[in-house]
Amino acid sequence: MCDESDLAGWDKKLTDKGLSRRQFAALSGAAAITACSGELSAGAGNQQSANFDEQIPTQIDQGMVSIATADGTMDAYFARPSRRKSPAVILWPDIASLRSSKREMAKRLAREGYAVLVANPYYRDVPADQFENSVQFRESDGFQTVRPWREKLSSRAVMRDADALVSWLDQQSTVDTAKGIGTQGYCMGGPFTVYTAHSRPDRVKAAASFHGGGLVRDDADSPHKILEQGTSYLIAIAKNDDAKAPVDKGALQSAADAGSISAEIEVYGGDHGWCVPDNPAYARAEAERAWARLLATYEGAL
């Protein structure tokens, strides 16, 4: 799980990209994503968009939606291919929640042919876009800000939300309900993908966690204890997370093997946050490798 200790090396990572924290925090949206992708140097004066629109020509529809849950109304972002039914995906953000970089990731996946719903896990307290990017999260004392919001995100609360999101997706004319649903999560959203599959094993057939925290715990709802047969799992572990908890990957693999569950579990060569483009830890080559494995998992399971 992302915590204050993971921020210790951020200044060096930004320096390596030619940026200070102040310069990065001053950027917004696609410009910040470009900066952490290593494609924008400080003072370069190049504000070209880093979104993925030019990579894949598929046209998409996108926008914010409201979803009734057992605990209130969630605001979420929905991106999907135009004029076609598509298998659905639920994307659980990291600790900084729904923001520009998560919309860019959803749009990229939508252009691969998926209807992507990005949840705002903090909807019980605040709307989306509380933070512009990961560095602004740090600059605004984000951990203290989100602590009371995160405390409400028990495994059971997330399962209730997941059930509502699955039901909402199945009511959308753009979703191919003949196909299973996928889910992917980052940082604190990693275990949420396992909760989602456990909540709706009838519909969720693929779950992918990227630098997820809290996957191996002692309580009954620990993700490694509730893996579902019939769901394919992709668990991509950050190298520094593995260094902190080196036995977790073995516990996950043993649990999957014991349940005859399909699970790809691997430690990647990136630090916590390496998959998220607006995170100073973003490592493009390893992020693209993880993205390729995600698409392969969805293709095989959905």
Per-residue model confidence as pLDDT tens digits over 106-141 = 999 999 999 999 999 999 999 999 999 998 999 999
Average pLDDT over residues 6-29: 51
Question: Mean pLDDT in the chain?
Answer: 88
Q: Using a pLDDT cut of 90, give the percent of the chain over it.
A: 79
The strand pair at 60-69 and 72-81 is best described as antiparallel
How many Cα atoms within 13 Å fall on the side-chain side of residue 292? 6
Alpha helix ranges (H) inside 27-81 = 29-36
In a domain, 285, yes or no: yes
Q: What is the pLDDT of residue 194?
A: 98
Place 70 in a pLDDT band, splitting at 50, 70 and 90. very high
CA 243 and chain centroid, separation: 22
How many residues comprise the chain? 302
C-beta separation of 158 from 183 below 8 A = no
pLDDT tens per residue, range 148-159: 999 999 999 999
Structure tokens at 201: 């094993």
pLDDT at 56 over 90: no
pLDDT at 240 over 70: yes
Q: What is the pLDDT of residue 52?
A: 41
Structure tokens at 213: 């925290």
pLDDT at 298 over 60: yes
Q: How many domains is the chain partitioned into structurally?
A: 1
Q: What is the pLDDT of residue 16?
A: 55
In a domain, 71, yes or no: yes
Structure tokens at 246: 């080196």
Place 2 in a pLDDT band, splitting at 50, 70 and 90. low
Domain at 239, CATH number? 3.40.50.1820
Q: How far is CA 32 from CA 28, 100, 132, 137, 256, in A?
A: 5, 9, 9, 13, 38
Exposed / middle / buried, residue 126 (Cβ in 10 Å: 0-12, 13-18, 19+): middle
Alpha helix ranges (H) inside the chain = 10-16, 21-26, 29-36, 100-110, 134-139, 142-150, 155-170, 189-199, 239-244, 248-258, 284-301
pLDDT at 43 over 70: no
In a domain, 6, yes or no: no
Q: What is the pLDDT of residue 28?
A: 44
**Partners of 62 in beta bridges:** 79
Q: What is the pLDDT of residue 295?
A: 98
Q: What is the pLDDT of residue 58?
A: 77
In a domain, 287, yes or no: yes
In a domain, 40, yes or no: no
Structure tokens at 16: 């390596």
Structure tokens at 198: 């456990």
Place 48 in a pLDDT band, splitting at 50, 70 and 90. very low
pLDDT at 36 over 60: no
Average pLDDT over residues 277-300: 97
In a domain, 1, yes or no: no
Q: What is the pLDDT of residue 17?
A: 53
Query: CA-CA distance, 291 to 18, in Å (whole number)?
Result: 26
In a domain, 21, yes or no: no
Sign of the torsion angle spanned by Cα atoms 266, 283, 107, 165: positive
pLDDT at 46 over 50: no
Q: What is the pLDDT of residue 38?
A: 44
The domain in which residue 115 lies consists of 61-301
Structure tokens at 146: 């989100």
160 vs 45, more confident: 160
**Partners of 68 in beta bridges:** 73
Query: CA-CA distance, 267 to 239, in Å (whole number)?
Result: 6
pLDDT at 39 over 50: no
Average pLDDT over residues 195-217: 98
In a domain, 253, yes or no: yes
pLDDT at 267 over 50: yes
